[in-house]
Amino acid sequence: MTAERKREAYTAFLNGDPDKGLALASDLLTEHPDDITCLFMAGEILAKSHRYGLANPLFRRVIELAPEMPEAWHNLGHCLHVHHDLPGAVECFAKSMELGGDDFHTISNMLLMNTVSGDQENAIGMLKSALFHADNEEERKILDEILPGES
């Protein structure tokens, strides 16, 4: 039954109703406050709705419960980046990569952090890795936004 309610919450979000998705996820969290899937889903709904300050503690709780989850580290890093905590964001993105979260978005976020901080040596390494992981034109456009003319 809980799995069905989780699907219903995430489907509501995907269908353009983040408030309904969040309400359903919140109801589930009332019953199961340490359910990692529900915490992560609620955090993801909040983050994708640009409510990063509210998503931040949910991702922190996921990390407390499942410190080996690279997606939670990545999402927390994104929340911190949006709130201008660049050192915290870099730490989270690095942890995500250490745990195997070497997807395009984590790598491109590390590229951005290294570029902003002026760490050109690491930025070049991240750019090479991001280019390797860029699977489509949309991802290449993201790279062009970070470093125009480099990809």
Residue 113, both tokens: 């952090």
pTM of the model: 0.75
Rounded to 5°, the CA angle 90-103-36 comes to 75
What's the CA gap between 80 and 17, in Å, rounded?
25
Residue 24, both tokens: 């359903």
One-letter amino acid identity for 18?
A: P
Q: Supply the DSSP string of 21-34, one letter for each residue.
A: HHHHHHHHHHH-TT
Confidence (pLDDT) at 123: 66
Confidence (pLDDT) at 129: 67
Q: Helix, strand, coil proportions of the chain in percent (round to 5)?
A: 80, 0, 20
Chunked in runs of 10, what are the mean pLDDT values of the chain (151 residues)? 85 90 92 94 93 97 97 94 91 88 71 70 68 70 65 48
Q: Which of 55, 101, 104 is nearest to 78 (CA)?
A: 55
First vs last Cα of the chain: how many Å apart? 47
Confidence (pLDDT) at 3: 84
How many residues comprise the chain?
A: 151
Give the orientation angle of helix 36-48 with respect to helix 52-65, to 10 degrees: 160
